[in-house]
Amino acid sequence: MEKTLAKDIGFWVMLGIGLAVMFIGPMVWGLFEIMQITQYVVLSVYALSLAYIWGFGGILSFGQAAFFGLGAYTFAVASINIGETTVPFALSFLLPAAFGAALGYFMFYGRLSDVYLGVVTMVVTLIFWKLINHTAGPEYSIGAARLGGFNGIPSIPILNVPGDAKAWLDPAQMFQAFMGILIIVYLCLRLIIASDFGRVSVGIRENETRASLLGYDIRRHKVIIFAIGSGIAGMSGAMWATYQTFIDPNAFSMEMSAKALVWVMAGGVGTLAGPILAVILLQWLSLKLGTMHILNNYFILGAILMGLVLLLPRGLLPSLRLLAERLWHLGRQKMDASAASRKATSDV
Amino acid sequence: MSDAHILTTEKLVMQFGGVTAVDNVDFSLKEGELRCLLGPNGAGKSTFFKCLTGQLTPTSGTIKLRGADITGWNTHDIVNLGVGIKTQVPNLFNGISVYENIRMAARRKHLKPMAKEKAEQMMEKCGVSHLARREVGLLAHGQRQLVELAMVLAEEPPLVLLDEPAAGMTGDERDRLADLVLETARSAAVIVVEHDMAFIRRIAKFVTVFNRGAIFREAMIDEILSDRAVQEIYLGKQADVAA
Amino acid sequence: MDYVLIIVIEMLRAISWLVLLASGLAIIFGMMRVINFAHGEFLMLGGYITIMSHNAGVNLWIAMLVLAPLCVGIFGILVERFIIRFLYGRILDSLLATWGLSLLMVGGVTLVFGNTVQGVSTPLGGVSIGAYQVPFYNFVLIGFAAVLMLAIWSVLKFTKAGLIARATMQNPDMAETLGIRTSWVYMATFGIGSAVTGLAGGLLAPLTGVVPSMGVNFVGQSFITVITGGASMIAGTLSASTLLGTISQGMTFLTGPVYGDAALLLTALVLLRVLPQGITGRIFKKSL
Amino acid sequence: MTKLNRRGFLLASGATAATLSAPSILRAAADTIKVGGLHDLSGPLDASGIPMNQVLKLAIDEVNATGGLLGKEVEAVIYDPQSNMSLYSQYATQMALKDRVAVVQGGITSASRETIRPIFHRYQTLYFYNTLYEGGVCDRNEITLGTTPAQTVEQLIPHAMNLWGKKVYTIAADYNYGHITAAWVKRYVEANGGEVLETEFFPLDVTQFGSTISKIQAAKPDLVLSALVGTAHLGFYRQWAASGMKAEIPIASTTFAAGGTDAVILTPEEGNGILTSYGYYTSIDNPTNAAFKAKVKEAYPDDTPILSELSEVTWEGIMVWADAVRTAGSLDREALLEVMESGKSYDMPAGKVSIDPKTHHAIRDVYLAELQDQEFIIKETFPQVQPKDTQMVCNLEETPDANVHHEISLN
């Protein structure tokens, strides 16, 4: 029984939800809800980039923000200079992907162990953060775009319909465009994961020695996986820049990298839907906290994070699935004990 | 099979700090030959094996595979020249099913449909079909050895290197293994590193005995078994050897 | 001439600054493989305790050298018992849990102490070397860093407790078979690591603005020093601090702090590529 | 067994989270005028955000105490962005579209202002930015009452140079504010016949200043001009005093204790003698300021906020807006702007304040004060100083729909 994509219910459920939200959403929600959900969509694409390289390639990056920021700044500088956003948007995928490949070559051909891999990516992000923060003077500008250092780049053009530079997307159109991008990214990732390349990457995640004993060049594989993840993160950075029409060095901050880690860990490593769920829940939670003035918000957010790790060790989605399975079993006492139906943890 | 040599090593040396684990070994294996490597613990068999598989880069000397110098190559480059490797400690994709593991190995050589059929064929041959859906991580040690063997054979490599394949196996699993190795030896060259004398007796023809990193003696299996010098290095000097 | 002397003193101070920052982390991360993202906040807690007790009339040196390590050590033990104990072997979960802990500590200290507390001025005033004046406190820092390194080294090397701690960290199962209560050893080691960080926080309090969110400035430097240092605790932390401290201060003198920081990061990056296991992964292999 | 009761705990906490989020009982129909407050109440910026928020609430109570506006009660809508840009943009959108506030007061760093200003410009929600900053914002929808570098540096430099001498060593935070302030310092030092020996910039997270202190000693300036920002940079003042330099070379600063807290964190030995220049000090003696301080003390007896230009200008923001609503008799943005652009002057704790129609920046009194035992003693007062820097780049009468933050560069 081969677990082809077509037979995986989880996949179709996610696709269904995505399309429903994309088309019905604008009719149902007001402008404010649309703007808020657009932000969750952007951050979900960002979370997917780490969910893919970590969950399905065994590559733990502490510095996903480096590519998020690089994509955002590439889009900002390119769109301000070109005045049109289609080419810059493509650049915001290609440039970070190329940088990811170069950095990947530097790391994977250097036989770094996982923990040091995490640290190298963290150090690279810190370097970006330091250098970008230093570009405050007028002499730091590329073409017409001032990098602006700590204050960032203001008034970044809004995404326009490809081909017609003046047709800027209104919030509802931008929401649908971003929702479309999220669905396409999710679809492509699931296809890659189900493909032979994906199977080998999962093999590499499980046991690198065996993969090389089968003749697979794991270093090349990891560079490709890392580049794909970097490209997606870069694109989500561009989506963030055009959504907010403003970008500042916080896009490169340690907090941005840590957020991605939290979402994937909380959502469940080895799944794609989990991190998306975690983005929505945790972002909504910190938004809610901001409006309720109980104690100090850092205090509450910290307590919740610790609770998450101690109570849901395997992350939100796998735990929910486990809970559902257990309840399903308890509900059907007459099931015989052998529980032949215990299906392998499918990669939703 | 022509009598050309599939694998040769010249003055192969492997040193860890002060210790010389492999000491100037000249070794050659003919196409289609089945060779067993014997020797007491710490004789350098496994280190020699790891040099062949590229897991270790030898300190000096050369290794040639069908004339091509593969000294110091990466493991995956060596494997791609048609070498199947089974390591001492089974290296498997633990989180995935047995079928999935073997299918991935078969996929290296065959296209999709053929790979599916090849995998099922191999599972049948190695007697692990009933475990197809089970996660490899949950299998017993002997079963894992058989799955790893099935993966190596699924690629149908012209040269097969097996490091202690019989370790941890039950009686009948070992017999099945012996038949499999003999059958493989008909179509490929095989090197087996092993301790298990019962297993060796069943499959061995020409044998190489290692001691202290060097080749001690090379001869047919029955000569080796009756050679007092070999028994001494196995059982240690003082032991009075029951004839 | 005295300008050169000043630069040397400045480098020694920067090195001891890194040694103080990193040694607590070297124990917790280097030895126990627990990523403590709240390391900056442990430093801040040390600073706060020093200042609060000093403002309450306790002599500065007692507050700094006794109270701060003691309280932060006890806090460390509590953290180990309630959080870290469940996370051994799960290095990533320890990262997420301690990141939550760091947020909780920033929020907690703001709630309890408020975010503006009168600081304590640097004791012992300045001393003039040639045409320059340098805080005498620099030498205090250098002295304490050396004493700290020596103390940890001798505890690990010569005392029975040190041996037990090292054995437990290398192979807990084997240590159990020898009758060692490993859970106690973990608790004590985490406590000592926290106490050392508390001491460092106390020593740095007079030199920096002590506010709840000051930790974030130190966490980057500490991690990079420990990782670059590599496996062995003393030799690793010492060699990494020396290398990184010298290069960052040298560049700061030549060009300014921005390139000083960037130089430190670049050195760490190159080192990690050349010596993936850190400096002591290859050189000083057998040292402590 | 432990697995199960963890689940039990999980279900219980899930339930409480649901009740917490139930929508708070809906207020009676919109019979209140909503005022948005957007200041960081947690995270690194809370030291500045909390006092501004306290004064904001006090000002709104004051307006309600005098009969509210247009017969309606004024209600505060306060969100805590937790020093996080993504929350700033979400809350700005929420205030503009969902809560439909009449005016928003807030934003602390320039990055947070530039995140929310375009949103309020697009949805035409009147916006007050009450923090001193590097100048250059040209946006008809924004009223900027805080001081800009030109207003403060122009007074500080000549005064300091007369006191201490012509040779100046500038150290500044390495971001826009630092670069622009350093440029203005250079202009005014040279205009007064002095010389800037060296200008050094520091990233915001630098905590060690040993090497810089040695360089300053080598350069032997007459005074040090500091535009350092943030808690990490407090280390400079401490390490400067620690090396005994305080008695040797005096310090003047355009940023020290801007939020008021630095003066308390540093001990008197470290802080005494530092010369600063702001639009407001608690020690200004005029009846409005005395009344203002009394009200603050009375409203917050135990957690009395440390007052500074940031919190006082937040008070001004509410009062100016309330006055405009009363005068115009409506909440219409154009009517309010007309009142505020009429050159009308307001009597505020910080003295006389009026709004320059061309830049919507404040023309206000600027003070020079020296820190003594954690209290600022006013040395000189400069009445009605024009926001010259923003006037160089912005004229809202000619370009009313401008929506940009110019980078003022003097070279």
3-state SS, C163-221, equals HHHHHHHHCHHHHHHCCCCHHHHHHHHHHHHHHHHHHHHHHHHHHCCCCHHHHHHHHHH
- B87 inside 8 A of chain A by CB: yes
Instruction: Note whether D214 contacts C134, CB cutoff 8 Å.
Output: yes
Give phi and psi for A169, each to the nearest 5: -75, 135
Grouping H, G, I as helix, E, B as strand and the rest as coil, residue B86 is strand
Position B236 scores a pLDDT of: 61
Q: Do residues C265 and C251 touch, judged by C-beta distance below 8 A?
A: no
- The CA radius of gyration of chain B, in Å to the nearest whole number, is 18
Q: Model confidence over A284-338: pLDDT tens digits?
A: 888 888 887 777 778 888 888 888 888 877 777 777 778 888 887 777 765 555 5
C97 assigned to some structural domain: yes
Q: Do chains C and A touch (3 or more CB pairs under 8 A)?
A: yes
**Nearest residue on chain C to D47, judged by CA atoms?**
C115
D183: left (phi over 0), alpha (psi -120 to 50) or beta: alpha
Banded model confidence at residue D370, pLDDT cuts 50, 70, 90? very high
Confidence of residue A343 (pLDDT cuts 50, 70, 90): very low
The per-residue pLDDT for B41 is 79
What residues of chain D lie within 8 A of the CB of A289, using their CB? 80, 82
Which amino acid does the sequence have at A342? R
String of b and e for D246-258 (b: at least 16 CB within 10 Å)? beebbbbbbbbbb
According to DSSP, residue B142 is labeled H
> D87-125: buried (b, 16+ CB within 10 Å) or exposed (e) per residue?
bbbbbbbbbbbebebbbbbbbbbbbbbbbbbbbbbeeeb
pLDDT of residue D234: 85
Q: Chain C residues with CB inside 8 Å of A303's CB?
A: 100, 104
CA distance A306 to chain C (A): 5
Q: Closest partner residue to C122 among D203, D205, D238, by Cβ?
A: D238
Closest-CA residue of D relative to C245 is D208
* Alpha-carbon dihedral sign for residues B42, B44, B49, B50: positive
pLDDT of residue B2: 45
Contact A210 B92 (CB under 8 A): yes
**Interface B:A, ≥3 CB–CB pairs < 8 Å:** yes
The size of the C-D interface in CB pairs under 8 A is 134
Identify all chain C residues contacting D267, using CB atoms and an 8 Å cutoff: 118-121
Interface of A with C in 104-163 (CB under 8 A): 106, 110-113, 115-116, 119-120, 122-124, 126-127, 130-131, 134
C72-95: burial string, b at 16+ Cβ within 10 Å, e else: bbebbbebbeebbeebbeebbbbb
Percent share of chain A, pLDDT over 90: 26
Alpha-carbon distance A47 to B173, whole Å?
47
- Please give the biggest Cα pair distance in chain A: 76
Choose the closest CB to C258 out of D174, D238, D266: D174
Domain assignment of residue C154, yes or no: yes
What are residue B34's DSSP bridge partners? B190
Adjacent-strand bridge partners of C5: none
What are D23-35's pLDDT values in tens digits? 434 444 457 899 9
Residues 267-286 on C with a CB inside 8 Å of A are: 268-269, 272-273, 276-278
CB < 8 Å to C105, chain A: 302
Provide the domain limits for residue C189.
Answer: 2-215
A106 or D349: which leads in pLDDT: D349
Three-class HEC string of C233-283:
HHHHHHHHHHHHHHHHHHHHHHCCHHHHHHHHHHHHHHHHHHCCCCHHHHC
Contacts of C110 in chain D (CB under 8 A): 42, 46
CATH fold for domain B1-82+158-243: Rossmann fold (3.40.50)
How many whole angstroms separate alpha carbon D156 and alpha carbon D276?
Answer: 7
Q: Which residues in chain D have their CB less than 8 angstroms from residue C252's CB? A: 211-212
User: D130 with D310: CB under 8 angstroms?
Assistant: yes
Touching pair D, A by Cβ (3+ pairs < 8 Å): yes
Taking the Cβ of residue D262 and every Cβ of chain C, the question of whether any pair is shorter than 8 Å is answered with yes
Mind listing the pLDDT tens digit for each residue in A185-223?
999 999 998 888 888 888 888 888 888 888 888 889 999
Beta carbons of A151 and D175 less than 8 Å apart: yes
> Would you call A336 an interface residue with chain B, using a CB distance cutoff of 8 Å?
no
pLDDT of res. D11: 39
Q: What average pLDDT does chain A have? A: 84
Is the separation of the CB atoms in D387 and D150 below 8 Å? Answer: yes
Of chain D residues 16-75, which have a CB less than 8 A from chain A?
20-21, 41-43, 46
What is the ipTM, given to two decimal places?
A: 0.77
Residue A29 DSSP one-character state: S
Instruction: Give the amino acid at B218.
Output: E
Give residues with Cβ within 8 angstroms of A217, minimum separation 6.
Answer: B74, B76, B77
Residue whose token pair is 């035409």: D124
The residue to which tokens 């350093």 are assigned: D182
**Cβ contact, residue pair B91, A217, below 8 Å:** no
pLDDT reported for residue D323: 92
Q: Where are the domains of chain A?
A: 5-331
Q: Does A261 contact C95 at a Cβ distance shorter than 8 Å? A: yes
Q: Which of D200, D231, D245 sits opposite C214 (nearest CB)?
A: D231
Specify the pLDDT at position B239: 43
pTM: 0.81
pLDDT in tens, C31-90: 787 888 899 999 999 999 998 898 888 888 888 899 999 999 999 999 999 988 888 877
> Does the structure show a pLDDT above 60 at D219?
yes
Taking contacts as CB-CB distances below 8 angstroms, the residues of chain A near C276 are 110-113, 116
C-alpha distance from A168 to closest chain D C-alpha (Å)? 14
| Residues 4-63 of chain D whose Cβ lies under 8 A from any Cβ of chain C | 42-44, 46-47, 50
Residue A338 contacts D where some CB pair is shorter than 8 Å: no
Nearest to B75 among A1, A196, A213 (CB): A213
The helix/strand/coil state of C141 is: helix
DSSP A346: -
How many domains, in total, are found in chain C?
Answer: 1
Tokens for B100?
């999935």
Please indicate whether, in this complex, the C-beta atoms of A134 and C258 are within 8 angstroms of each other.
yes
| CA distances from residue A292 to A305, B12, B56, D89 in whole angstroms, order as listed | 18, 73, 61, 18
Task: List the beta bridge partners of residue C246.
Answer: none
Contacts of B243 (CB under 8 A, 6+ apart): none
pLDDT score at A336: 54
C-alpha distances (whole Å) from B34 to each of B65, B162, B203, C159 are 16, 11, 8, 57
DSSP E strands: which ranges in A290-335? none
Q: Do D205 and C138 touch (CB under 8 A)?
A: no
- Between D117 and C276, whose confidence is greater? D117
Closest residue in chain C to residue D268, using alpha carbons only? C121
Domains for chain D: give ranges and CATH numbers.
Answer: 32-147+285-355 (3.40.50.2300), 150-278 (3.40.50.2300)
Q: Is A207 on the interface with B (CB under 8 A)?
A: yes
Pairs of residues, one from chain A and one from chain C, whose beta carbons lie less than 8 Å apart: 111
Contacts of B76 in chain A (CB under 8 A): 212, 214-218
Q: Read out DSSP for D219-271?
A: H--SEEEEE--SSTTHHHHHHHHHTT-TTTS-EEESSTTTTSHHHHHS-HHHH
Tell which residue, B28, B52, B41, has the closest CA to residue B212: B41
For residue C206, CA distances in Å to A279, B88, B121, C50, D233 come to 41, 59, 75, 9, 13
**C195 closest CA partner among C70, C80, C84:** C70
| Yes or no, beta carbons of C107 and A111 under 8 Å apart | no
pLDDT < 50: residue spans in chain C: none
Rounded CA-CA distance B24/C100 in Å is 58
Task: Name the minimum distance, in Å, from the CA of A123 to any CA of chain C.
Answer: 6
Nearest alpha carbon to residue B87 among B128, B148, B169 = B148
What is the block-wise mean pLDDT of chain B (243 residues), using blocks of 10 residues?
Answer: 74 85 89 86 85 88 89 86 86 86 83 83 86 86 86 87 84 85 88 84 85 86 82 62 45
Residues facing D79 on adjacent strands: D38
Which of C211, C221, C222 should be substituted to probe chain D, the one whose Cβ sees the most D Cβ atoms within 10 Å? C211
D6–A311 C-beta distance less than 8 A: yes
The DSSP H or E segment spanning D276 is strand D275-278
**Do A214 and B75 make contact, defined as CB atoms within 8 angstroms?**
no
Residue B76: closest C-alpha in chain A: A215
- Nearest-angstrom CA–CA distance, A249 and C160: 50
The SS3 assignment for A271 reads coil
**What's the whole-number mean pLDDT along residues D342-357?**
91
Distant-in-sequence, close-in-space partners of A165: CB < 8 Å, separation ≥ 6: A83, A84, A85
D279 closest CA partner among D138, D97, D155, D147? D147
Q: Is the CB of C96 inside 8 Å of chain A's CB atoms?
A: yes
How does pLDDT run across D263-276, given as a tens digit for each residue?
Answer: 888 888 888 889 99
For residue B154, what is the nearest residue in chain A, using CA coordinates?
A: A214
Whether chain C lies against chain D with 3 or more Cβ pairs closer than 8 A is yes
- Which amino acid is located at B121 in the chain? Q
Q: Which of A2, A199, A213 sits opposite B87 (nearest CB)?
A: A213
What's the confidence (pLDDT) of residue D399?
85
Query: Tell me, what's the pLDDT at A35?
Result: 84
Chain C residues with CB-CB distance to D270 below 8 A? 119, 121
Residue intervals in chain B for CATH 3.40.50.300? 1-82+158-243
Radius of gyration over every alpha carbon of chain A, rounded to an integer in angstroms: 21
Our CA angle for D214, D154, D198, nearest 5°, is 25
CA distances, D252 to each of A343, D169, D172, D228, D268 (Å) = 71, 10, 12, 11, 16
Whether the per-residue pLDDT at A342 is higher than 70: the answer is: no
CA distance D172 to D178: 5
* Out of A2, A203, A214, closest to residue B79 by CB: A214
- Adjacent-strand bridge partners of B215: B210
Average pLDDT rounded to a whole number, residues D15-28: 39
- Count of CA atoms in the C-beta half-sphere (13 A) of D23: 3
CB atoms within 10 A of CB D24: 8
